[in-house]
Amino acid sequence: MDTASTPLPDQAAPLPTSPDQLLARLDALGIQATTHSHPPLHTVEESKALRGALPGGHCKNLFLKDKKDQHWLVVALEDARVDLNRLDKAIGSARLSFASADRLWRVLGIRPGSVTPFALVNDTGHKVRVVLQKAMMEHDLLNYHPLLNDRTTAIRRDDLLRFIRACGHEPAIVEFGRAEE
């Protein structure tokens, strides 16, 4: 149970870091990124329908908590099969469940539907453990929402790692979610 809960702001409340501030941070790190605007997307299916021929690996992001109250950001290819009952063993966590919208806002400063590794920019307390799917990391170019789900930002795999590390996190690259599992 969340004991120090901050209410989820309404949709008009400003984000702790805006997409423009995020892109400026990427630029300051010498990271090239390409951002495309589109209508807000809430599901992988909506994303597939609207993206056209946008190159690179397209991803999904899960903000989870475990039974020991540890936070996890799991990032995988959009078609990866992520079984929470097995993922805990693969990543070394206690039993996993989805974190609440309130917790998502409090820890990563984003709203549901916009979960992204770029939100680590807001995790200044380093409360989140980052897990990247090994199969996803085989793609040179990866696509994520830049803090809002009305745009998609493409970033090179090595630059994603550099960004995550610049935010003070060391990601674990783990094998999970392949079609044959």
**Stated length of the chain:** 181
Structure tokens at 40: 């807000």
Going by C-alpha positions, the residue among 14, 2, 5, 4 that lies closest to residue 110 is 14
Q: How far is residue 177's CA from residue 13's CA, in Å, rounded to a whole number?
A: 35
Where do the domains of the chain lie? 36-174
Look at the domain 36-174 and name its fold.
Answer: YbaK protein (3.90.960)
Q: How far is residue 154's CA from residue 163's CA, in Å, rounded to a whole number?
A: 13
In sequence order, the β-bridge partners of residue 45 are none
Q: What pTM does this model have?
A: 0.87
Q: What is the pLDDT of residue 41?
A: 66
Residue whose entry in the numeric block shows the structure tokens 């453990």: 129
Per-residue pLDDT 10s for the chain (181 aa) are 344 444 445 555 788 999 999 999 999 999 999 998 876 666 666 666 565 567 899 999 999 999 999 999 999 999 999 999 999 999 999 999 999 999 999 999 999 989 999 999 999 999 999 999 999 999 999 999 999 988 999 999 999 999 999 999 999 999 998 754 4
Contact yes or no for 107/8 (Cβ under 8 A): no
Q: How far is residue 140's CA from residue 158's CA, in Å, rounded to a whole number?
A: 8
Contact yes or no for 73/130 (Cβ under 8 A): yes
Contact yes or no for 55/28 (Cβ under 8 A): no
Displacement of CA 39 from its chain's centroid (Å)? 19
Q: For the chain, give the longest Cα–Cα distance.
A: 45
